[in-house]
Amino acid sequence: MHNAAFAALGIEARYEALDVPSAALPDALARLAEPDCYGANVTVPHKVAVMALLEVLTPEAQAVGAVNTLIQHQGRLVGHNTDASGFLRALREDAGFEPAGALACVLGAGGAARAVVYALLGAGARVALHNRTEAKAAALAREFAPLGPLELLSAAELERRLSSCDLLVNATSVGMGERDPDVSPLPPGALPARGLVCDIVYRPARTRLLREAEAAGLATQNGLPMLVYQGAEAFARWTGAAAPVPVMMAAARRALEPGRA
Ligand code: ATR
């Protein structure tokens, strides 16, 4: 989507994937800080670890506790977080969902879940959080408690809360990729009673969770709009140009949802 955006605006630049083992992260960052580079995105598993290697973080990246975008500025890399705003924009513009006053059940406690919970609390939602490893969810809940109403759920409590939530967000990596496409982060038979089910996974385009939610008549959204909007904000910050969102959306759809493009 970034290469399509560069081409659409006539910008001579190239976006490429770098596979960086944890031990090589400092060297990769040194290369990305060179003046011929706009910056980079950071993804699993480096979104939290990269923070310790950066001199400058935006207040939002600091508050979320995860970095997904690096901007090169005068030979230094600044750590941003565009996942939180990308998630909110996808909810509002693509799903027509307004989080203010809603009860949101969120699954996960990693870097992606941090951005989702931060965004939802900032937008005035109440959040109920569940994670496989409860201690990680408890730590996240303690940290984010000052931002708004945030409750911790055990697995049994999650099943009960599904009857009253307006939004369910899967912010775990369960269901992601070709390796294990047929697993759901919810126990068999468990689904919200109403509202929107949102999976931040974008490959496959319809996770098992989304297929089951659709079959039950619930509204669904996959991770593609969030991916595009976090990318659009990063693009605008790298280049100083307005991101051609429809071009980026079409390119991402062609790559990830070929049957639907
Ligand atoms: P990201 O930055 O994409 O959020 P992460 O920090 O590795 O990646 O977090 C992955 C999330 O998916 C975690 O909440 C993880 O749960 P744990 O904290 O218990 O590890 C969750 N997750 C991954 N595999 C899972 C599985 N098989 N069942 C339940 N949760 C899982």
pLDDT digits 0-9 by tens, 168-197: 999 999 999 866 678 999 999 999 999 999
261 lines ligand 1 (CB under 6 A): no
131 lines ligand 1 (CB under 6 A): yes
Q: Please identify, by atom number, the ligand 1 atom nearest to the C-alpha of residue 132.
A: 19
Under 8 Å between Cβ of 198 and 167:
yes
Q: What is the structure's pLDDT at 179?
A: 66
DSSP code per residue over 98-112: --TT-EEEEE--SHH
Q: Calculate the average pLDDT of the chain.
A: 95
133 lines ligand 1 (CB under 6 A): yes
260 — pLDDT class (breaks 50, 70, 90) = low
The pTM (predicted TM-score) of the whole model is 0.94
Q: Please identify, by atom number, the ligand 1 atom nearest to the C-alpha of residue 171.
A: 4
Query: Which residue's alpha carbon is at the smallest distance from atom 22 of ligand 1?
Result: 172
* In the chain, % of residues over pLDDT 90: 94
Q: Please identify, by atom number, the ligand 1 atom nearest to the C-alpha of residue 173.
A: 12
* 139 has pLDDT over 90: yes
Average the pLDDT over 232-244 and give the result.
98
pLDDT digits (tens, 9 = 90+) for 197-228: 999 999 999 999 999 999 999 999 999 999 99
**Of 2, 46, 47, 114, which residue is the catalytic one?**
47
Q: What is the structure's pLDDT at 219?
A: 98
44 lines ligand 1 (CB under 6 A): yes
Under 8 Å between Cβ of 84 and 119:
yes
18 lines ligand 1 (CB under 6 A): no
| Known catalytic residue at 136 | no
Query: Which residue's alpha carbon is at the smallest distance from atom 9 of ligand 1?
Result: 110
Q: Please identify, by atom number, the ligand 1 atom nearest to the C-alpha of residue 136.
A: 18
| Nearest Cα to Cα of residue 90 among 214, 211, 222 | 222
* 261 has pLDDT over 80: no
